Structure 1
Amino acid sequence: MMTSAIRNDWTLEEIQAIYDQPLLELVFQAANTHREWHSAKEIQVCTLLSIKTGGCPEDCSYCGQAARYHTDIKVQALLSTETVLAHARKAKETGSTRFCMAAAWREVRDNRDFDRVIDMVKGVNEMGLEVCCTLGLLTEEQAVRLQEAGLHAYNHNLDTSEEYYKEIISTRKFDNRINTINNVRKAGITVCSGGIIGLGETHRDRISMLLTLATMPKHPESVPINALARVKGTPLEDNPKVDAWDMVRMIATARIVMPASTVRLTAGRIEMTESEQAWCFMAGANSIFTGERQTLLVTPNPGVNEDMMMLKNLGLEPKLSKKEVSAC
């Protein structure tokens, strides 16, 4: 019997009360909610590949791929379809069930590059992997093209609260984010949307961001919780390291208010110990991003072998794909 229901009418005060609980009580509640809706021993392993790197015209203060910042990140043109599919095959062989392709674009343009991305989506989908893309702003018509090609999910993070958004990004508005998410929904693609902590925001901003997600007509199927990966040359390079307990608190709160969603422990894991990541899993995280290059887009990330050993140590298992479950 499910004792926790899916709600879309949360108030800021209700989420604040959940977030402000003593940590052990919060984690206990989140762990119970998690077990009602998900297998406690399964972690979805995902691979994220940067298919076009750097040169982005946006000014996101945290991002080393913004053209205006002087970072060590090298600009890379859109990869060939064959190269991307080779990465996808290797990801599947090492246990990933979702393959996400990221392009450092402000927005999708209807050109040959987008046609190539459509071919990539078709190819990865044919491998039996969940296909995800994050390509920037998206029209409804472009979302339909991606859906018809077999796209399973589109990632478009809110980053932070609506109130704090303008302090981090000036080249687009918070509503642009919401519009793209709405276009994805209309096209029948699942939504992957979360945010980043450690940008200089307040706890109230973190709660406000969760409120926006939890009061959508339908919760995002995936909610990534990122810790700021500090990139030298960006305005936020000197921000303090995010405390692991703050990550645990955010994950636990997200799990309680969006019980059916997959909560993804994403950026920042490289600075977390195995024990700290274990707390995140106890609090309701049930997905990680790994990669053969030991990077998450352009920042350091644990490698595949390291992650598989961690899961083994904790008694956790990579989640099977839906096709693998059917075969079993």
Structure 2
Amino acid sequence: MFDLNNSSVAETADQAEALLKAPLLDLLHQSADVHRAHHDVTDIQKASLLSVKTGGCPEDCAYCPQSAHHKEVGLQKEHFMNPDAVIQMAQRAKSAGAERFCMGAAWRKVRDGAEFDAVLEMVRGVRGLDMEACVTLGMLQRHQAEALAEAGLTAYNHNLDTGPEFYGEIIGTRTYRDRLETLEHVRVAGMSICCGGIIGMGESLRDRADMLAVLANFTPPPESVPINALIPVKGTPLGHLPRVRAPEIIRMVATARILMPKARVRLSAGRDGFSISDQILCFMAGANSIFYGDELLTAPNSSLSLDKELFETLAAIE
């Protein structure tokens, strides 16, 4: 089990905090050098995300409109999707340019039975399309992680959300240790880990540094690190908070890139609030993946037409 009290975590948190506070142009220069040393900067992966079971989640995550605790949100609860329909949507996503297909279910934890069997069928179907497959289903037991790996799952997403000290301000229905245990099951089963967090929830700069330090001290670090900006949703406890400013997300991306040089750093939720120029700065800082499509589970995302313009701007001029 990962040791949160390991002295190297505190040392890395100090490093991360110093980076997050550094002059922005110096930070960008450093992270861009690290990025180019480990990646082809033109390789920006497009991942599509689908909610296969929406709403009614028993967790109380303060940011999430899918929580059953936040009744004022008024989210329409949707039943578990048919695997054939999900695979068809994956095919459409691939045709639109997506290389990775991610599926999320609003569950506290995975339960054995027909719905988990259907998830395994979805994974096999997506892999059969020659796409990467990722799921986020809540907490896992060891045998369930092994079943997902056997089905061909590329990666399991299970975000830490924030640093361990601030975590209790955001979630009360599961612990930080619960999250780490699920990630351990994923790693032992041989799958890639997709794990990041959210900024803009009222946390301090040190909380952001602490989260990145925990991730960087995994052995090995996550292959995929989503950096999300809070999308405040009316009816959730965090619905009153302001949107994250672009320099904050750029600093997080750059620091994540320096601390985890080999990871895919994913510019994730909240991207619809950033201009094309803001996003290009994130790519310069080290982001090399985006979620692609008009919706992220239940939240808006940058439209396909705007993303077409984004990638045309990035391309060489003929």
Would you call these one fold, judging by a TM-score over 0.5?
Answer: yes
How far 1:10 sits from its partner (Å)?
5.1
Matches within 5 A, 1:129-278: 129-278=131-280
1:11 partner SS: helix
Distance 2:298 2:43 in 1: 27
Q: Which amino acid aligns with 2:314?
A: L
Unaligned runs of 5+ in 2: 1-7
1:47 partner SS: strand
Q: Is the contact made by 2:198 and 2:229 (CA closer than 8 Å) also made in structure 1?
A: yes
Q: Which amino acid aligns with 2:190?
A: G
Q: Is the contact made by 1:9 and 1:215 (CA closer than 8 Å) also made in structure 2?
A: no
Q: Is the contact made by 1:8 and 1:218 (CA closer than 8 Å) also made in structure 2?
A: no
1:23 aligns with 2:46: no
Distance 2:214 2:186 in 1: 17
Aligned to 2:296: 296
How far 1:9 sits from its partner (Å)?
9.3
Distance 1:59 1:9 in 2: 28
1:264 partner SS: strand
How far 1:308 sits from its partner (Å)?
2.2
Q: Which amino acid aligns with 2:55?
A: G
1:105 partner SS: coil
Q: Is the contact made by 2:53 and 2:106 (CA closer than 8 Å) also made in structure 1?
A: yes
Distance 1:15 1:164 in 2: 16
Q: Which amino acid aligns with 1:32?
A: D
Q: Which amino acid aligns with 1:159?
A: D
Q: Which amino acid aligns with 2:75?
A: I
TM-superposition CA deviations, 1:153-190 (whole Å, max 9, x none): 00000000000000000000011010000000000000
How far 1:240 sits from its partner (Å)?
1.3
Q: Is the contact made by 1:194 and 1:223 (CA closer than 8 Å) also made in structure 2?
A: yes
Aligned to 1:109: 111
Q: Is the contact made by 1:62 and 1:234 (CA closer than 8 Å) also made in structure 2?
A: yes
Which aligned runs of 4 or more in structure 1 are off by greater than 4 angstroms?
7-10
Q: Is the contact made by 1:8 and 1:217 (CA closer than 8 Å) also made in structure 2?
A: no
User: What TM-score do you get using the length of structure 1 for normalisation?
Assistant: 0.92
Unaligned runs of 5+ in 1: 1-6, 317-328
User: What TM-score do you get using the length of structure 2 for normalisation?
Assistant: 0.95
Matches within 5 A, 1:55-134: 55-69=56-70, 70-134=72-136
Aligned to 2:307: 307
Which segment is superposed worse, 134-143 or 67-76? 67-76
Q: Is the contact made by 2:271 and 2:302 (CA closer than 8 Å) also made in structure 1?
A: yes
Q: Which amino acid aligns with 1:186?
A: V
How far 1:11 sits from its partner (Å)?
2.5
Q: Is the contact made by 1:8 and 1:216 (CA closer than 8 Å) also made in structure 2?
A: no
